[in-house]
Amino acid sequence: MTALFVNCAAMRGGVLHGNIAPYPFLGEARTAPRYRFYSVRDEFAGLHPADDGVTISGELYDVPLEVIGERFMPAEPPEFELGVIALADAGAALGVVLRSTRGETGRYRDISGWGGWRSYERSLGRR
């Protein structure tokens, strides 16, 4: 099993959920409080490790590693890369994070205060 943490448009009800829907849903999850959450053009959001991190809501799916590497990651926006996400239950999962080589996160909107993508979308009047 390869647990994949999703926290944006691939979650249930999201516009990209169809890509992950064929794979077993393992449940809702939260990150450990080690991340800030940034909106990229209000289209996607990514986690970034931070000393002043918060917990972020998401979902876990059981996705074969080859599907993640060969199908999902090539379709991700260039701002993102695959990383290991620490979960609140002391577990870990693979997930998408902002590329560390992108340098400063200041050009992205910090949406950590919303605690997750769905709450942020509601603040924009989308849900």
Residue-level pLDDT at 101: 59
Residue-level pLDDT at 117: 85
Residue-level pLDDT at 14: 83
Q: What is the pLDDT along the chain (127 residues), one digit of tens a residue?
A: 799 999 988 899 888 888 899 999 999 999 999 999 999 888 889 999 999 999 999 999 999 999 999 988 888 888 899 999 999 999 999 999 998 755 566 788 999 999 998 888 888 887 6
Q: List C-alpha distances in Å: 23 to 71, 103, 120.
A: 13, 33, 26
Residue-level pLDDT at 106: 72
Nearest to 29 by CA among 1, 61, 62, 57: 57
54 within 8 A of 35, measured Cβ to Cβ: yes
For 24, the domain range is: 3-123
Count how many domains the chain has.
1
Let me know the angle formed at the C-alpha of 83 by 10 and 102, rounded to the nearest 5 degrees: 95
Q: How far apart are CA 6 and CA 61, in angstroms?
A: 8
At 21, phi and psi to the nearest 5?
Answer: -55, -30
DSSP 8-state class, residue 87: B
Residue-level pLDDT at 105: 66
Residue-level pLDDT at 76: 85
Q: What is the CATH number of the domain that holds 102?
A: 3.10.490.10
